[in-house]
């Protein structure tokens, strides 16, 4: 069968008619939708559009004020909830109301009301249809005042926060002239606190507890330059320390303690070397800056250059003991000196008298050892610190044992023609004689490196007074 022939001009006319028909339908549809939206917006003027939910609760038809009021009421129910922030430096407290903790009612009300009301018409239509067909559910939004948190934690930050200290190491001619070990800094981890507060919103608002505990974590701040990176000598950590008190010392004795300490401070001891206290200290006389203070000479208390230096050797001896280092030479004082028993039992002293009596140790650690000192002029306390590399050795020092004691003899009075007649000054205090010993065991990886006993035989000593005889 032959199809009827259609002329091209007829097809052209037909496509024009279809175009105008479709165009008209589209325009009509748009007008209809636009009219419908206009009516919808008029009906729902000043209220949240239907199908808008927050946390599963419908707020369609509610005003912005209604939405805000709903969440404000929920916040009021937990207003008296107590927050206790717990830290090693103490606790601080606040309430939900003071922290403005709860739903962010302003934001939630604005978000709910704004859906379908943007400047983008197509987006508005899409959202309105989505809300009508399947609903739109907004997640709850929470908030609190960070300024209030910061103010609350400020007193704790003053106690806890500490800046990291960068290591400092500088030496010349084999002697360290500037040293400062690195120290970790600390600060309150506010980000962690924020995460705790955020994570507990839903629970607090639903269960309304009376008290909420918040742990305040402390985080470490690592220095950029650590002690072990500041030098290549293996000086990176404290391996031993010793301390002593020198209270009630006369000014010249205190001066000598400070001077002798300064000449030991900063000395480097190479691996395998034997350190000599006398050699490190050098000449002890007025020529090298020492003042006269009381010393024992030929059984008498007299003024002599460098009185007080044995305070330094005694303190240094204690640091060697605690570090577990091999002590090659040490001698106890002839009698018990009161200075050395202010914070210790007898037996933990070491005297020196150049060149015959010395204090020596050997550096067997395999790394350099740096000698550092600190003097507290208020407490009149001297401390020596030994820095190096901890090789795992452990030191056990027994409590000194007194095996026998001898009473002190009667007081001794020594005349001094340079002092006014009738003046009297006590320069020594009575001390009972005693035999004392203690033991030290140094081990490493379960193996004993050193096992030794230190014996001290102190003869009885009398109180000594300097009596003025000058007319």
From the first residue on, what is the mean pLDDT of each consecutive set of 10 residues in the chain (471 residues)? 50 55 62 68 87 94 95 94 95 96 95 91 88 92 94 95 92 84 94 94 91 95 89 92 95 95 94 96 93 73 81 98 98 91 95 92 96 95 96 96 93 90 86 96 96 96 89 83
3-state helix, strand, coil in the chain (%, to 5): 30, 35, 35
- Identify whether 308 is part of a domain: yes
- Identify whether 256 is part of a domain: yes
Tell me how many domains the chain contains.
Answer: 2
Which residues make Cβ contacts (< 8 Å) with residue 310, sequence separation at least 6? 333, 337, 349, 350, 351, 352
- Identify whether 15 is part of a domain: yes
**Cβ atoms of residues 60 and 52 within 8 Å:** yes
Sign of CA dihedral 68, 73, 75, 79: positive
- Identify whether 190 is part of a domain: no
- 3-class SS string, 33-95: HHHHHHHHHHHCCCCCCCCEEECCEECCCCCHHHHHHHHHHHHHHCCCCEEEEEECCEEEEEE
Q: What is residue 5's predicted lDDT score, i.e. its pLDDT? A: 53
3-state DSSP call for residue 304?
strand
- Identify whether 330 is part of a domain: yes
Q: In 3D, which of 300, 297, 291, 298 has the Cα closest to residue 249?
A: 291
- Identify whether 102 is part of a domain: no
Q: How far apart are CA 290 and CA 126, in angstroms?
A: 94
Q: What is residue 172's predicted lDDT score, i.e. its pLDDT? A: 81
- Identify whether 145 is part of a domain: no
Q: Phi and psi at residue 450, in whole multiples of 5°?
A: -140, 135
**Cβ atoms of residues 277 and 318 within 8 Å:** no
Domain that holds residue 37: 1-43
- Identify whether 18 is part of a domain: yes
């Amino acid at each position: 069968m032959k199809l009827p022939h259609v002329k091209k001009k007829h097809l052209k006319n037909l496509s024009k008619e279809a175009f105008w028909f479709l165009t008209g339908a589209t325009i009509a549809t748009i007008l209809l939708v636009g009219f419908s939206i206009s009516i919808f917006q008029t009906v729902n003027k000043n209220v949240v559009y239907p199908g808008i939910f927050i946390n599963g609760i419908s707020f369609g038809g509610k005003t912005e004020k209604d939405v805000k009021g709903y969440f404000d009421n929920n916040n009021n129910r937990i207003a008296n909830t107590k927050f206790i922030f717990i830290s090693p430096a103490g606790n601080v407290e606040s309430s939900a109301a003071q922290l403005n903790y709860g739903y962010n009612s302003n934001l939630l009300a604005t978000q709910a009301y704004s859906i379908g009301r943007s400047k983008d018409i197509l987006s508005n239509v899409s959202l309105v249809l989505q809300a009508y067909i399947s609903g739109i559910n907004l997640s709850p939004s929470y908030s609190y005042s960070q300024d209030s948190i910061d103010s609350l934690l400020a007193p704790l930050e003053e106690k806890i926060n500490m800046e990291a200290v960068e290591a400092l190491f500088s030496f010349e001619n084999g002697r360290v002239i500037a040293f400062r070990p690195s120290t970790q800094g600390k600060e309150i981890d506010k980000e962690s606190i924020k995460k705790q507060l955020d994570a507990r919103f839903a629970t607090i608002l639903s269960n309304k507890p009376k008290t909420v505990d918040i742990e305040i974590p402390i985080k470490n701040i690592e220095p950029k330059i650590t002690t072990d990176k500041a030098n290549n000598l293996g000086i990176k950590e404290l391996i031993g320390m010793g301390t002593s008190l020198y209270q009630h010392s006369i000014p010249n004795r205190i001066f000598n303690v400070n001077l002798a300490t300064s000449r030991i401070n900063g000395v480097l001891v190479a691996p395998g070397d034997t350190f000599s206290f006398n050699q490190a200290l050098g000449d002890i006389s007025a020529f090298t800056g020492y003042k006269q203070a009381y010393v024992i000479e030929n059984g008498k208390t007299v003024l002599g250059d460098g009185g007080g230096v044995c305070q330094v050797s005694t303190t240094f001896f204690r640091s060697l003991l605690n570090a577990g280092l091999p002590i090659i030479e040490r001698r106890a004082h002839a009698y018990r000196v009161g200075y050395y028993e202010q914070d210790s039992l007898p037996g933990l002293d070491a005297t020196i008298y150049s060149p015959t009596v010395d204090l020596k140790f050997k550096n067997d650690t395999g790394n350099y050892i740096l000698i550092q000192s600190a003097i507290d002029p208020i407490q009149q306390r001297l401390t020596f610190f030994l820095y190096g590399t901890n090789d795992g050795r452990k030191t056990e020092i027994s409590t000194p044992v007194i095996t026998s004691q001898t009473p002190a003899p009667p007081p001794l009075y020594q005349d001094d023609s340079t002092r006014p007649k009738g003046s009297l000054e006590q320069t020594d205090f009575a001390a009972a004689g005693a035999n004392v010993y203690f033991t030290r065991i140094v081990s490493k990886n379960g193996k004993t490196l050193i096992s030794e006993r230190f014996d001290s035989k102190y003869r009885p000593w009398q109180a000594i007074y300097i009596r003025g005889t000058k007319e």
